[in-house]
Every structure is written in structure tokens, then in C-alpha cells.
Structure 1
Amino acid sequence: MFSLIQLESFVAVAEELHFGAAAARLNMTQPPLSRQIQLLERELGALLFERSSRKVELTAAGRTLLPSARRILDLCTKTELDVRRVSTGDAGSITIGYTAIAGQSGLPGILRLASSHLPGVSLVLREAVSTDQLDGLSRGSMDIGLLRPIVARPGVVSRPLMEDRLVAALPEGHDLATGKGVMLKELDGLPLMMYSTAEARYFHDLVMRLYDSAGAHPNITQFASQVPALLAFVAAGLGITLVPASAMAFSPPGVVFEELVGPAGLADLNHADLHIAWNESNTNPAVARLLDLILAGDAGG
């Protein structure tokens, strides 16, 4: 099999049509250059140049080889550059998981950040509930997750990305939709659209803690794993729910929101913060660069 140095020597001579000029272009002397051409001709079993004391010309075989030789050398150069870019985080791909609401709140800032600072990196986006994101981070099928802090997973670390809180979502025209806030106790017994324990344990447990803190009793009539589905129930007039305040900007028609009021200590309890998570064993340089940018606080704009 011929070598890259043989192809480089051939292309240089083919383009210069002069062994001395080709040798100078390759920063070598003429005898080693002639030797590389001879080795290539022997390997291919064909004469590539017609040589005389006055000129050098390509043979038919040489003319056939030249475009392919150029493509091979160009591909090698491109491959070398691509590998270097990936190794420094300038290229490659990042798979980002996100919840439905994070896709509207936290994700856009990260996409802008990546577009501005890592234009050569492609992003693969996957909407998933927090538990599924943790599974993906653990298995390595996801690089970064935008999720709610639920159970810990070995090797998966997270940091707060955005502060959030729960608010009451009510059907338009509901008696409690006064614009003055809702006491948690006032939700006692109302039909509650509730988070699934299997897929949205974080929000399920938070809602239960909030109800318990006020001595209120949830009357759960529907379950869903994602905020948009719960808001659809509310818009249909089937009951009320508690959702992150960040969801207010992306609500369907027919839903109004009220801040939760009391009891004492509610503000300390009512945290629904969005976290960014990743597997600490991830070796993707592009992931490391994007995380550095996000954790530096640049993703919020």
C-alpha cells in the first residue's frame, strides 16, 4: 500500500512538473523525492511521469491518479483538523436533556451560549422527565441534564441553574383568582391535578409538603408527569394544580395564576429550583467547555 508521503511527493511533482521545484516545496532534496516517486510507481505497477532532460509530463496513469491523490490528501488534512477540534472542544456533539418547562426557560439561554462560543459543536436535544434524564446521565446517553434535584445518582453531579417556586394554577374565572394570592389552606379539598410519583417524584413530594405545612388535604383526581399536561387539565376546568412560576409565561389560554401565601416558613419550603447535571466521568471536551460557560453564569441572558 502506498503511503501519504508518496502521494504528497507525487502531487508536488505533478503540479510543479519539475523535480527540483517539487523538492524545494516539500523541504527535501531531489534524490529522496525521486525515490518516493519510484516506490509509488512500483506499488501501483504503472509509470506516472514521462521524464526527459528538458521536461516532466504526466502519463495517462498519472493524470488518472492526480485527482484521487488530491482528495486523499485533503481528507487527511480535514480529518486531522477535525480530530484536533474535537479534542479541544471546538467540535463534536453534546446531548442535552431537559424537562418541558426547562425547554422554555433554562434551555434557550444555553443554546444561545453554545451558538456564540461553540459554533462548531452540534447539539442533540431530548425532552425527558428528571428521572429519565438521570438514567441517561448515568448510562452516558446524555451529556447534560436540565432537571429538578431528585434522588442522587452515583457519579452524577448537579448545580443550581435557576431559582423557581410553585404557584397555584386555576381555571379562568375561579373564585380564588383574585390577584391577591391564595392561602394554601384555601386549596383544601379542591380537585388537584397532581404529578406522577413514578416520573415526577420531585414535584409530587414538594406539593405534598406544601399541603402538609398548611394542614390542607389534597383531593387528587388526575395525574401527569409534565407541567404542560397538568395545565391542560386546568384549562379544561377539571381542577387546580401547582406549577413552577417559570411556567406562567408559557401557559395555555384559560389558566390564571396566584402566588401561594402562608403559612410561616412557606418561602423557605417553596423552592422548585432548576438544576444542571452531568456525569463527572464524562470525557467529552465540548461538554466541559459548555459547562464552564454555563457555570460562569452566562446562560441566563
Structure 2
Amino acid sequence: MFSLIQLESFVAVAEELHFGAAAERLNMTQPPLSRQIQLLERELSAKLFTRTSRNVQLTAAGEVLLPNARRLLDLSRRTSIEVSRVSTGDSGSVVVGYTSVAGQSVLPALLSTAARHLPDVTLVLREAVSIDQLDALSSGNIDVGLLRPVVTRPGVQSCLVKKDRLVVALPSGHHLVTGKGVLIKELVGLPLMMYSTNEARYFYDLVIRLFDSVGSKPTIAQIASQIPALMALVAVGLGVSLVPASAMDFAPPGVVFEELTGPDGLQDLNHSDIFIAWEEGSVNPAAQRLREVFIESLETVEGSSIPENASLPKKS
């Protein structure tokens, strides 16, 4: 089988029609160049050039070979470039998981960053709740996830990308809609649209902790796993709910919001931050580059430096 150096030698001679000029172009002497042409002719069982003391001409076989040799060399160069870009993370494919709220509040910034810095990286988007994303990261089914810390998962690393908090979602016209905030105690006894203990365990535990802080329990009326579903239940007047502040931007008509207030220490409990997470053993260079450029684009989160190696907090 002929080699790339043989094809390069042939193309140089075919374009220069002069062995000395072709050798100079290839930064080699004429004897090894002639040797490469001889080897190629032997491999193809065809004479490629006719040579006289005055000129060099392509044979009919050489005329046929020239465009194909150029295509093969071009393919070789492009393949080398593409493989190099994939190995450095400048090209390739990244599967990104995201929650419904992260899809509205964080994902657009991630997509914008990728389009600006990694235009040759293809992003495959998959919406999933946080616990399913953690499973997908561990199994390699997604490369990065935009999620909330559900549990500590060995091998999963993360970085804070957006601070968030729970606010009170109320049906329009509710007596607690004052614009002055709602005490957690004022929610005691009201029908609460609550999170599923399976798919939305993080939010379920957070709501329970907030009620525990005032020595009370919520009155759970309906259960859903997704925040849009909870807000839809509130919109039709079935009760109230506690949802992330970032969800206010895509609330349905008929839902209004109040800040959650309460005793000292409530604000330390009331946070529902969003993290970008990844499997530390991931071998996808494009995923690593995406993560790096996105974190670099978020120099601070509400004035606080983002620790690159911040890990998921433990479940309470």
C-alpha cells in the first residue's frame, strides 16, 4: 500500500513538473524524492511520469492519480485537524442534563458561552430531575448536569453557578399577597402543593426543614415532581407552594409571589442553589472544555468567588 509521503512526493513533482523544485518544496534532496516516486510506481504498477533531460510530464496514469492523490492528502490533513480539535476539547459532542428551572435560569448562559467559545462542539440537551442526573453522570449517560444537590455521590464533582432561594407562590387574590413577605408560620394549616419524595427529594427535604424551624409541619394537599406542575396547581387556586425564585420568570398567569420570612437563621436554611456537576473520571475533552469556559464566564455569583472544586453538600 502506498504511503502519504509517496503521495506528497508525487503531487509535488506533478505540480512543479521539476524534480529539483519539488525536492526543494518538500525540504529534501532529489535522490530520496526520486526513490519515493519509484516506490509509488512499483506499488501501482504504473509509470506516472515521463522524464527527459529537459522536462517532466505526467503520463495518463499520472493524470488519473493526481486529483485522487490531492483528495487523499486533503482528507488526511482534515482528519488530523479534526482529531486534534477533539482531543483538545475544541470539537466533539457533550450531553448536558438540566432541571426544568435550570433550563430557564442557567442553561441559556451555558448555551451562549458554548456558542461563543466552542462553536464546533455539539450540545445534546436532556431535561431530568436532579437525582436522575446524578445517576446519569455516574453511568456516563450525560457529561455534565445542571442540578441541585440531592445527595453526595462518590466521584461526582460540582461547582456553584447560581444562588437561589425559595419564595412563596400564591394564587392571585390570596389574602397573604401583601408585598411585604410571608412568615413561614403563616403557611401552617394552608393546603401546600408539595414536592415528590422520590423525584424532587431535595426540595421536599428543604421545605420540611423550613417548617421544622418554626416547630410545625406542612399540610400537604397535592404532590408533584416538577416545579411548573406545582405552580399550575397554585394558579387554579388549589393551595400555595414554595418554589425557587428563579421559577418566577416562567410562572403561569394567576400566580403571584412573596418573599419567605421567618425567625433568625431562616435565610441560612432557605437556599436552593444550582450547581454544574460532572463525573471526575470523565474522558470527554469537550465536556471538560465546556465546563472550564462556563465557570470562567461566571467570575462571581452575587459577589462570592466560585470554588472550582466545590463538592455537593451532604444530604441532611
Q: What TM-score does the superposition give when structure 2 sets the normalisation length?
A: 0.89
User: Is the Cα–Cα contact under 8 Å of residues 110 and 299 in structure 1 kept in the other structure?
Assistant: no
User: Is the Cα–Cα contact under 8 Å of residues 113 and 297 in structure 2 kept in the other structure?
Assistant: no
Give the match for residue 183 of structure 2: 183
Q: Single out whichever of 80-89 and 131-140 deviates more from structure 2.
A: 80-89
Distance (Å, rounded) in 2 between the aligned partners of 1:280 and 1:136: 13
1:62 maps to amino acid: G
1:161 maps to amino acid: V
User: Is the Cα–Cα contact under 8 Å of residues 113 and 298 in structure 1 kept in the other structure?
Assistant: no
Q: Single out whichever of 73-82 and 209-218 deviates more from structure 2.
A: 209-218
For residues 272-291 of structure 1, the aligned pairs below 5 Å read 272-291=272-291
Post-superposition shift, 1:73? 0.6
What secondary structure is seen at the aligned counterpart in 2 of 1:142?
coil
Runs of 5+ unmatched residues, structure 1: none
Q: Single out whichever of 68-77 and 113-122 deviates more from structure 2.
A: 113-122
What secondary structure is seen at the aligned counterpart in 2 of 1:259?
strand
Q: Which runs of 4+ in 1 moved over 6 A?
A: none
**Identity score, percent:** 68
Q: Which whole-Å deviations, capped at 9, do the CAs of 1:83-127 have from their partners, x for residues lacking one?
A: 222222222232221111111112222222223333332222221
User: Is the Cα–Cα contact under 8 Å of residues 143 and 278 in structure 1 kept in the other structure?
Assistant: yes
Distance (Å, rounded) in 2 between the aligned partners of 1:39 and 1:86: 34
What secondary structure is seen at the aligned counterpart in 2 of 1:101?
helix
User: Is the Cα–Cα contact under 8 Å of residues 188 and 219 in structure 2 kept in the other structure?
Assistant: yes
Give the match for residue 295 of structure 1: 295
Give the match for residue 219 of structure 2: 219
Corresponding position: 1:10 with 2:22: no
Give the match for residue 95 of structure 1: 95
2:91 maps to amino acid: A
User: Is the Cα–Cα contact under 8 Å of residues 106 and 300 in structure 1 kept in the other structure?
Assistant: no
For residues 131-142 of structure 1, the aligned pairs below 5 Å read 131-142=131-142
Distance (Å, rounded) in 1 between the aligned partners of 2:238 and 2:69: 70
For residues 174-213 of structure 1, the aligned pairs below 5 Å read 174-213=174-213
Give the match for residue 266 of structure 1: 266
Distance (Å, rounded) in 1 between the aligned partners of 2:236 and 2:52: 90
User: Is the Cα–Cα contact under 8 Å of residues 96 and 144 in structure 1 kept in the other structure?
Assistant: yes
Give the match for residue 79 of structure 2: 79
Give the match for residue 155 of structure 1: 155
What secondary structure is seen at the aligned counterpart in 2 of 1:272?
coil
Give the match for residue 129 of structure 1: 129
Post-superposition shift, 1:72? 1.0
User: Is the Cα–Cα contact under 8 Å of residues 184 and 216 in structure 1 kept in the other structure?
Assistant: no
Give the match for residue 233 of structure 1: 233
Give the match for residue 69 of structure 1: 69
Distance (Å, rounded) in 1 between the aligned partners of 2:258 and 2:158: 30
2:286 maps to amino acid: A
Give the match for residue 44 of structure 1: 44
Aligned residues: CA RMSD: 1.9
2:173 maps to amino acid: G
Post-superposition shift, 1:211? 1.9
Q: Which whole-Å deviations, capped at 9, do the CAs of 1:40-79 have from their partners, x for residues lacking one?
A: 1221122222333332222222222211111111111111
Aligned residues: 301
What secondary structure is seen at the aligned counterpart in 1 of 2:271?
coil
Give the match for residue 168 of structure 1: 168
What secondary structure is seen at the aligned counterpart in 2 of 1:237?
coil
Distance (Å, rounded) in 1 between the aligned partners of 2:234 and 2:70: 64
Post-superposition shift, 1:295? 3.5
2:50 maps to amino acid: E
2:107 maps to amino acid: L
Post-superposition shift, 1:224? 1.9
In the superposition, relative to structure 1, how do residues 283 and 72 fare at CA in structure 2: closer, same or farther (>3 Å)? same
Q: What TM-score does the superposition give when structure 1 sets the normalisation length?
A: 0.93
Q: Single out whichever of 43-52 and 3-12 deviates more from structure 2.
A: 43-52
1:102 maps to amino acid: A
